[in-house]
């Protein structure tokens, strides 16, 4: 999982879902798990 300062480019990819987990913003992509990342 990558840690990024901004998830704007990742959340626009097809199949991505923005989720809040324990106060962190996480992008999960089932179509391409390589794009899984969190902010912070």
Left, alpha or beta for 8 (phi > 0: left; psi -120 to 50: alpha)? alpha
Per-residue model confidence as pLDDT tens digits over 2-25: 999 999 999 999 999 999 999 999
pTM to 2 decimal places: 0.81
pLDDT at 40 exceeding the cut of 90: no
Sheet holding 24-29, edge to edge: 2-4, 37-39, 24-29, 16-21
pLDDT of residue 30: 94
The torsion angles phi and psi of 16, rounded to 5 degrees, stand at -90, 145
pLDDT of residue 27: 97
């Amino acid at each position: 999982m990558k840690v990024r300062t901004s998830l704007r480019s990742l959340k626009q990819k097809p199949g991505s879902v923005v989720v809040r987990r324990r106060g962190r913003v996480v992008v999960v992509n089932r179509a391409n798990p390589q794009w899984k990342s969190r902010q912070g």
